[in-house]
Chain A
Amino acid sequence: MKCVRHRHAAAAVVLVAASLLAGCTTPAPEQPPPAAADTPYRPVASIREVMNSVIDPSADVVWNSVKTVIDHGRPTDHAPANDQEWAEVRRHALIVSEGANLLMMPTRPVAPPGAPSLAPGVELKPEEVRALIDKNRAGWNLFANALQDSLTPALAAIDAKDSQALFAAGDKIDTTCENCHQVFWYPNAGKLASAR
């Protein structure tokens, strides 16, 4: 499964690189594709809002559920301590995993109308993200599926009430997020950080 994920990520990177080489004109204001007549889905929130309201807060709960705080040399281990706390973490892991499906809905806008880049010059403008997604929908969907795959070990760890396995799974989730962000959100950030 790990190899499959790596192949998917590599394929997405190749697809987006080809798209970037194909044309570098300034994109027009974001226009999500029109809804197909037969689709029942009606996106309410933008991708940015889904990230900020659904995926990121729930991922934080999963990440923060297991950790060690070393205060003046005294370590305190934190982990879900009872069935209720495990159920709470599981709920948030499911929200992240199902949230990936929300990201793949083709008519969902990247950001609210007229919204700017939150870090101009570093993170792309919504219309630039839109252009990347539209040129490489397959790559976008592969990354969303990879996010779901990265939650699979977390859910298994939660079901087994294995805090160490859940802690290890947290790293995979972050890596998956970062892989997608570096392609669709801030593809030039690494170069910028080094150039400054």
Chain B
Amino acid sequence: MKTKIFLVLLAAGALCAVQPAQAHHAFAAEYDATKPVTLTGIVTKMEWANPHGWIYMDVKQPDGTVKHWTIETAGPSQLSRHGLKKADFVDGMSAVVKAYQGIKDPALANGRTLVLKDGRSFYIGSVGGPNDGADL
């Protein structure tokens, strides 16, 4: 019985592990629409997940250090609708992301557009973002 409980807890733990915090809030509660950022760097990881995707990006700073950004995107079905595919996220992929910076976490952002090295551009914004024309 103890083993069974342990296995269930283990399974639950495995399902819950490595997830970003996902408490639901309005865009304007988490991100600052007055702080647009353009991030040029290397995408190290992409979580193709519901309810939002997450892009992890290393961006070289003017002083030579690297800042690790976490960028929220729309959910996978929205990304697919805009033409983005999982296969687009190749190793060492350089990209430009336009986004809005987080209010509490300066390394967090809400993505609007993703431009790949080959010039393809994708709208990656989630619901409730500014009406900035990024989706046009």
**B-contacting 9-mer, from A12-20, A71-79, A135-143:** A71-79
- Docked Cα-Cα span, A190 to B93, in Å, equals 32
- Docked Cα-Cα span, A66 to B48, in Å, equals 9
Is B92 part of the contact surface with A, judged by Cβ < 8 Å?
yes
Number of B residues, CB within 8 Å of A: 43
> Which of B7, B25, B127 contacts A123, CB < 8 Å?
B25
CB distance from B44 to the nearest CB of A (A): 6
> Which of B27, B93, B132 contacts A73, CB < 8 Å?
B93
Is B76 part of the contact surface with A, judged by Cβ < 8 Å?
yes
- Asked whether, in the complex, the Cβ of A185 is within 8 Å of the Cβ of B26, the reply is yes
Is B16 part of the contact surface with A, judged by Cβ < 8 Å?
yes
> Which of B19, B77, B128, B131 contacts A189, CB < 8 Å?
B128
- Asked whether, in the complex, the Cβ of A196 is within 8 Å of the Cβ of B26, the reply is no
- Asked whether, in the complex, the Cβ of A65 is within 8 Å of the Cβ of B25, the reply is no
Residue in B25, B51, B86, B130 whose Cβ sees the most chain A Cβ within 10 Å: B51
- Asked whether, in the complex, the Cβ of A61 is within 8 Å of the Cβ of B33, the reply is no
CB distance from B125 to the nearest CB of A (A): 11
Q: Which residues of A line the B interface, CB within 8 A?
A: 51-52, 56, 60-61, 63-75, 80, 84-85, 88-89, 118-119, 122-123, 167-168, 170-171, 173-174, 177-178, 181-182, 185-186, 189-190, 192-194, 196
New contact pairs (6) apart from A60-B16, A64-B19, CB-CB < 8 Å: A67-B48, A72-B45, A119-B28, A181-B26, A189-B26, A193-B26
